[in-house]
Chains A and B, each alone.
Chain A
Amino acid sequence: MKTRKPKPMLRERAANAGVTRRIFLQSGALGGASLLAGRGSLSRAFAAGSSQRPNFLFISTDQQGLDTISAYGCRDVATPNMDRLVRNGVSFTESYSTNPLCSPARSSWFTGRMSSETGVIGNSRGIRPEIPNLGQWLSREGYETVYAGKWHLPSSFPPKIPGFTVIPTGISGQGNIGDSAVSRACEGYLRNRRGASPFFLVASLLQPHDICEWVSQHRNAADEIPYEGIAERLPALPANHDYDRREPAMVAKFRRPQWSERQWRYYLWSYYRHVEMADAEIGRILDALENSGLADNTIVFFTSDHGEGRARHHMVLKNYLYDEAAKVPMVWCASNRMRSNVQLAAPLVSGADIVPTVCDLAGVKAPRTAGRSLRPWLEGKNAEGREFVAAEVTRNGRMIRTPEFKYITYQGDPVEQLFDMRSDPGETKNLAGESKYASVLDAMRKHLTDWEAHLEVASPRA
């Protein structure tokens, strides 16, 4: 992906809006007394720099949009453990899935390549065998690579994954009970491991993905909430609940429920309970790390494969390119190596950045990727951000996102979408037909053409 010239200063903002950047960075530097301190009481002495190769703990959720975390201001949910990560790490708030669908996005996490390149452009497909996954790559470098939870490349919860030792845990479609096994397995691993080599542990949780089942269950549900004490707690509908009827046909295809306002709000309430389920499991894993004595030399990073409609544009689920589906959390924590409690609105970030970032932090040469290392931003160094970030969806959808604009197109569909993300972050006013934006539209089309030209696209399958 292309890069742009550095800006004079990164567009940072403190989690607490009243705190200046200078003060904030100071508090971050001094605030590492307990890397992940939360519900546990063990604290870690601040360790200044480490020459050891770091361990990695990769925590992922499934179907969690970026702005579903209390620490980012969401008042409809309680996420004390994700908040721990945000407080103790660097958050990228313009973070995009490479393809807002489970398997494609995951193929990018573990290869650093776009889904067109991995060959995983739909669910339940395997990564092209000639492209190494991160487990294979790091295990060759002496890492102990361990996997618990959802994989979905192609099988959801396979007993074996190339490059990883698998602790076979998790249940398809049932994060509500399978995630407990995943987090317990990770807890056990962090407590019991004995090896001298560094580890790369993946804790791949399924929640809040169970919302798919909830939506299916409630598609034709009566306009009533059968439980007391919920009606008065329903979240408000989002400001962009309505949508432009002149959308690309592929977008409209994913708009399904015909719900009343109360049903939409009940759906939101239920979604946030699913997010809280994931949060609790994350708490168990973070506590295990904290109590294991391994936290000082472990880099934790957290993301999700894609978001969830959350009533924005009348949408549920995923597989389209509005921000509610495409934007995901991306948080990196390591108190003695990185800044803490910093939220960065630049650079634009992609799920394809995980592989180059991990390799950079591990001191390992990265394979060819479509991403770039985020290390400079984690360490507070100035660096060139991207000119744009790209995403794919379904067979022919593409997104180009610059700091200012977002462009969505589906090959063969005459309707293009262009949004000014500074003045219209909810993507409500399509500017593609306005002559005033013709040059912007042309520039976005050119970005897409140039970007596609550099893809090493997988061959069609039989």
Chain B
Amino acid sequence: MKAREKNAKSYGARSKTAQDSTLGRPLTVDALRELGALSNIGLPGGPFDPNGAWEQTWQIWLVSFSWKGMAGYLSLKRAPAQNGEAIVLNVEMAVMQTARSVHVTRADTLCAADPLASPRSWRIESEIRSPDGKAIEVARVEEKAEVKDGVIEVAAGQKTFTRKVPKTFTSNWSVFDAVQRLPFANSKPLEFALLEDLDLLKEGHRLSRWKDRAAVLSGKEIAVHGFQHIGAGILPYQYWLDEQHRLVVALSGIRAYIVDADAKNRFDQSLRQGSQPGKGTKA
């Protein structure tokens, strides 16, 4: 039998295309609502001071061909330090992988008390947990870093190395803090380099005020105030803040962060239930 005749018999019906996706339009607050992502979330209550001490948690919600749902959480804990001269920002993020392993990132960051919460020193660890919950030791990363005169000095185990960074930079986690402190009126754009996950340098970033709209979270309609963020190596972010400047939804491409005080518990529950983001998808 000729090669192509054999192939034709073998090819089957697996040639589905991107047209199969059910979303079919850009991810927005409205799309999240229609997907059910904004229902039954644990809305944080009480007053919120973005300049004070706070702790917030967001679901990490992913939308792709066959997976639409929560895949992890991001938790930030902020505390003013050094008599108001600095900010301590603690980060914990967990993201389930398709193989049901979990990527956990933790960082303790000392940031300048400036509009960008610019990182000055930090300790970060990355861990891959296998599906049975055990850390895969060979894949573990731990670093301490300090910024001095435009250079990041990194210590990892017995090794040290340095990296140059632009004068004005911040991390993606600091942006979550910074955007909550921006005024809704007469807000000037912030320009910076992004040190994503305190490691990946992406230049030419700009965070600016956008527009206002209404959003329905857990059945309650609220006014939200928008900011947008563009730059190299990211798809544009939308940040939506409530009247108290609390970041309730952030969106970028096919990923969303949805405020939810219960996100950690939900994630643990989904692990126990055996969720698998993207299982069986084409990529």
Q: Is the CB of B139 within 8 A of A157?
A: no
Chain A residue with the shortest CB-CB distance to B14: A122
In the complex, the chain B residue whose C-beta lies closest to that of A283 is B200
Query: Contact partner of A280 among B2, B128, B156, B233, CB < 8 A?
Result: B233
Residues of B within 8 A of A270 (CB): 235
Contacts of A191 in B (CB 8 A): 141, 156-157, 159
Verify B97–A273 contact, CB threshold 8 A: no
Separation of A216 and B26 alpha carbons in the complex (Å): 9
B98 touches A157 (CB 8 A): yes
B225 is an interface residue with CB less than 8 A from chain A: no
Interface residues on B, range: 35 or more
B171 at the A/B interface (Cβ < 8 Å)?
A: no
CB of A441 within 8 Å of the partner chain = no
Distance from A1 Cβ to chain B, minimum over Cβ atoms (Å): 15
How many A-B contacts if CB must be within 8 Å? 280
Chain A 441-462 residues near chain B, CB threshold 8 A? 452, 455, 457-461
CB within 8 A of B278: which of A62, A157, A181, A188? A157
In the complex, which of the residues A173, A457, A460 contacts B283, with contact meaning CB atoms closer than 8 Å? A173
A230 to B8, CA, bound (A): 44
Flag whether A258 is at the interface (Cβ < 8 A): no
| Residues of A382-427 contacting chain B, CB below 8 A | 392, 394-396, 398, 411
Contacts of B17 in A (CB 8 A): 254, 256, 317
Note all chain A residues with C-beta closer than 8 A to B101.
Answer: 159, 168-169, 181
Q: Is B234 an interface residue (CB 8 A)?
A: yes
**A contact patch SS:** loop
- Determine whether the beta carbon of B6 is less than 8 Å from that of A188: no
Number of residues on chain A facing chain B (CB within 8 A):
91
In the complex, what distance in Å separates the CA atom of A395 from the CA atom of B60?
Answer: 39
Bound Cα distance from A395 to B253, whole angstroms: 33
How distant is the Cα of A3 from the Cα of B262 in the complex, in angstroms? 64
Is there an interface contact between A78 and B95, defined as CB atoms closer than 8 Å?
no
For residue A314, CB closer than 8 A to chain B, the reply is no
The answer to whether A170 and B98 have CB atoms under 8 Å apart is yes
How far is B9's CA from A122's CA once the two chains are assembled, in angstroms?
A: 12
Give which listed residue, B19, B25, B97, B206, contacts A256 with CB less than 8 A.
B19
Q: Smallest Cβ distance from B106 to chain A, in angstroms? A: 12
Given known pairs A181-B97, A256-B19, A283-B200, the reply for A457 and B235 (CB within 8 Å) is: no
Surface stretch bound by B, among A36-44, A89-97, A336-344: A36-44
Given A174-B277, A188-B138, A273-B234, are A181 and B161 neighbors across the interface (CB < 8 Å)? Answer: no
**Which residues does chain B contribute within 8 Å of A42, judged by CB atoms?**
161
Question: In whole Å, how far is A232's beta carbon from the nearest beta carbon of chain B?
Answer: 12
Contact status B14-A213, CB under 8 Å: no
Separation of A158 and B279 alpha carbons in the complex (Å): 9
Asked if A215 is at the interface (CB within 8 A of a chain B CB), the reply is yes
Asked if B208 lies at the interface with its beta carbon under 8 angstroms from chain A, I say yes
Question: Is A192's CB under 8 angstroms from B10's CB?
Answer: no
Q: Quick check: A168 and B3 within 8 Å, CB to CB?
A: no
What chain A residues lie within 8 Å of B202 (beta carbons)? 276, 280
Is A177 among interface residues, defined by CB-CB distance under 8 A?
A: yes
Q: How far is the CB of A460 from chain B (nearest CB, A)?
A: 4
Q: A62–B283 contact, CB under 8 A?
A: yes
Min CB distance, B52 to chain A, in Å? Answer: 30
The reply on A52 being an interface residue by CB < 8 A is no
Nearest-neighbour CB distance to chain B for A254, whole angstroms, equals 7
Chain A residues closer than 8 Å to B7, beta-carbon distance: 116, 121, 392, 395-396, 457
Return the contact of B163 from the options A39, A210, A277, A317 (Cβ within 8 A): A39
Name the residue on B nearest A288 (C-beta): B141
Contact across chains for B6 and A458 when beta carbons are under 8 A apart: yes
Chain A 252-284 interface 0/1 with B at a Cβ cutoff of 8 Å (1 = within): 001010000000000000100110110111011
> Is A280 in contact with B200, judged by CB distance below 8 angstroms?
yes
**Does B83 sit at the interface, judged by CB under 8 A?**
no
B130 located at the interface, meaning its Cβ lies under 8 Å from any Cβ of chain A in the complex: yes
Q: How far is the CA of A184 from the CA of B143 in the complex (A)?
A: 12
Complex contact B18–A177 (CB within 8 A) = no
Cα A188 to Cα B199 in complex, Å, equals 14
Q: Are A177 and B60 in contact (CB under 8 A)?
A: yes
Jot down 5 A-B pairs with beta carbons below 8 A, ordered by A.
Answer: A40-B162, A157-B97, A172-B281, A181-B103, A395-B7
Give me the interface of A with B, judged by CB distance under 8 Å: 39-42, 62, 78, 102, 116, 119, 121-125, 148, 150, 152, 156-159, 166-174, 176-178, 180-181, 184-185, 187-189, 191-193, 206, 209-210, 212-221, 226-230, 254, 256, 270, 273-274, 276-277, 279-281, 283-284, 287, 291, 316-317, 319, 392, 394-396, 398, 411, 452, 455, 457-461
Q: Could you tell me which B residues sit within 8 Å of A by CB distance?
A: 1-12, 14-15, 17-19, 21, 23-27, 60, 62-67, 71, 95-101, 103, 105, 126, 128, 130-131, 136-141, 156-157, 159, 161-164, 196-197, 199-203, 206, 208, 210, 228, 230, 232-236, 252-255, 277-283
Excluding A157-B98, A317-B18, 16 further A-B contacts by CB distance (< 8 Å) are A168-B131, A171-B71, A174-B64, A181-B101, A181-B103, A191-B156, A192-B139, A212-B283, A213-B65, A214-B253, A217-B21, A227-B236, A279-B233, A411-B4, A455-B3, A457-B3
The 8 closest A-B pairs by CB, nearest first: A172-B278, A173-B64, A168-B99, A181-B103, A216-B21, A460-B9, A276-B233, A157-B98
